[in-house]
């Protein structure tokens, strides 16, 4: 023991120096960079991890593999590019609520075929509608991002949950159809006509179309992005906040502001908290009513659902596919539907939103091209609600296409239609 020195017993002091961070700059770097914990679960509470994606479909597919309440969100960068994230709503809120207000441009993704609450996006110009009133229902969460020029509210019905947002859209379009019918024909299917007695055309003025409901029916589309509580649109510092007219009360009011905002955020999510609720389906609607409320697209979806053939790649008419692809270039065919009962093709287009009605590219909504195989011509329509009734003039298909597919439709045509096809197929 006499030969055992303190240096030998405790070791060299140089060894401990390897465990020290060499500089304060490294310490700052460690503190500055967040720790991304993926798929970490706690014994109590939601998972604290998240995962980012560059493509929406990858995020949606990943979220489907999770059974812990994770959802898909999207956030917009300063350059306008949108990225996607899968996280539990409480985890997402924890980080999103700590961002500066001018950096919060976030949206919930409403996945196709997922249960969702009934929701509305109401917008109108205040100057053109000075006497319009706001919704004051007590069972509806009312969020507001209005300005002096524009009324803009989101309404979320907590107790009404549809099987998916398409079904919710059918319900909303049916209501809009009945109101429009009342205004144009002075009658509707409602037993009590006085329900619509307070509606006048002065409440419906729209600068673009002169008349129309201020309910945005485009928000029920597939995988829709719906703006989140306390988030604003890019380059517009007008966040979506709790409305001054909101009368919805949380079941248990939070005691602090952060907890209150978190609960409002969770209640405002369209697809969160729908698990233990009876799902509604608006299936008793007739094809005629759907067609009146949303044009050809809804008519096809309802009447020919069993016989519709759809594809992301090619239809039964490859020559027409190539023709439409060349026609919409640099755009692309995202999806096509063939409806045998009416002998029509519908092509949904992406990366080219040019609309013949407004003579420019739409900012948010895509366009579609319809090919009528009975008459052998095509025309353009779009998904923008302001152009819902627009249909471009028909343009005859190339002669070689008319000739190639004339035999396909001959059995289903009347004599007069056969004459038209024969005329169109002549060189």
Over 50: is that where the pLDDT of 279 sits?
A: yes
Mean pLDDT, rounded, of the chain: 75
Read off the pLDDT of residues 187-196 as tens digits, 9 standing for 90 and up: 544 444 444 4
Q: Answer with the residue of higher pLDDT: 361 or 295.
A: 361
Read off the pLDDT of residues 126-154 as tens digits, 9 standing for 90 and up: 777 676 655 447 779 999 999 888 889 99
Tell me what pLDDT residue 68 has: 80
Q: Answer with the residue of higher pLDDT: 182 or 111.
A: 111
Over 60: is that where the pLDDT of 199 sits?
A: no
Secondary structure of the chain in the HEC alphabet?
CCCCCHHHHHCCHHHHHHHCCCCHHHHHHHHHCCCCCCCCCCCCCCCCCEEEECCHHHHHHHHHCCCCCCEEEEEECCCCCEEEEEECHHHHHHHHCCCCHHHCCEEEEECCCCCEEEEEEEEEECCCCCCCCCCCCCCEEEEECCCCCEEEEEEEEEEEEECCHHHHHHHHHHHHHHHHHHHHHCCCCCCCHHHHCCCCHHHCCCCCCCCCCCECHHHHCCCEEEECCCCCCCCCCCCCEECCCCCCCCCCCCCCHHHHHHHHHHHHCCCCCCCCCCCECCCCCCHHHHHHHHHHHHHHHHHCCCCCEEECCCCCCHHHHHHHHHHHCCCEEEEEEEECCCCEEEEEEECCCEECCCCEECCCCCEEEEEECCCCEEEEEECCHHHCCCCCCCEECCHHHHHHHHHHHHHHCCHHHHHHHHHHHCC
Average pLDDT, integer, range 411-417: 46
């Amino acid at each position: 023991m006499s030969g055992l020195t303190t240096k030998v017993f405790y070791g060299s002091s140089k060894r401990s120096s390897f465990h020290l961070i060499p500089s304060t700059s490294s310490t700052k770097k460690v503190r500055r960079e967040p720790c991304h914990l993926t798929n970490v679960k706690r014994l109590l509470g939601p998972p604290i991890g998240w995962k980012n994606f560059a493509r929406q479909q990858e995020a949606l597919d990943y979220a489907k593999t999770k059974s812990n309440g994770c959802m898909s969100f999207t956030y917009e960068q300063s350059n306008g590019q949108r990225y996607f994230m899968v996280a539990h709503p409480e985890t997402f809120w924890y980080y999103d609520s700590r961002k500066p207000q001018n950096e919060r441009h976030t949206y919930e993704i409403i996945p196709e075929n997922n249960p969702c609450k009934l929701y509305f996006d109401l917008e109108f110009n205040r100057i053109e509608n000075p006497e319009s009133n706001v919704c004051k229902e007590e069972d509806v969460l009312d969020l507001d991002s209005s300005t002096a020029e524009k009324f803009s509210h989101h309404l979320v019905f907590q107790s009404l949950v549809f099987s998916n947002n398409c079904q919710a859209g059918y319900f909303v379009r049916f209501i809009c159809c009945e109101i429009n019918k009342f205004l144009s024909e002075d009658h509707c299917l409602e037993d009590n006509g006085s329900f619509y007695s307070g509606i006048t055309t002065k409440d419906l003025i729209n600068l673009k179309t002169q008349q129309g409901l201020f309910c945005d029916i485009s928000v029920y589309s597939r995988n829709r992005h719906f703006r989140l509580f306390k988030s604003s649109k890019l380059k517009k510092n007008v966040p979506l906040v709790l409305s001054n007219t909101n009368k919805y009360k949380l079941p248990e009011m939070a005691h602090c502001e952060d907890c209150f905002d978190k609960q409002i955020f969770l209640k405002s999510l369209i697809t969160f908290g729908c698990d233990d609720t009876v799902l509604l389906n608006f299936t008793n609607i007739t094809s005629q009513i759907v067609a009146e409320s949303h044009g050809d697209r809804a008519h096809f979806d309802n009447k020919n659902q069993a016989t519709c053939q759809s594809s992301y790649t090619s239809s039964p008419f490859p020559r027409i596919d190539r023709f439409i692809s060349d026609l919409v270039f640099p755009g692309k065919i995202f999806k096509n539907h063939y409806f045998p009962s009416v002998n029509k093709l519908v092509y949904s287009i992406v990366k080219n939103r040019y609309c013949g009605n407004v003579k420019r590219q739409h900012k948010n909504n895509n366009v579609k091209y319809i090919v009528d195989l009975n008459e052998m011509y095509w025309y353009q329509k779009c998904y923008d609600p302001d152009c819902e009734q627009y249909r471009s003039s028909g343009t005859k298909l190339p002669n070689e296409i008319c000739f190639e597919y004339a035999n396909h439709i001959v059995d289903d045509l009347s004599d007069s239609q056969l004459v038209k096809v024969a005329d169109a197929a002549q060189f």
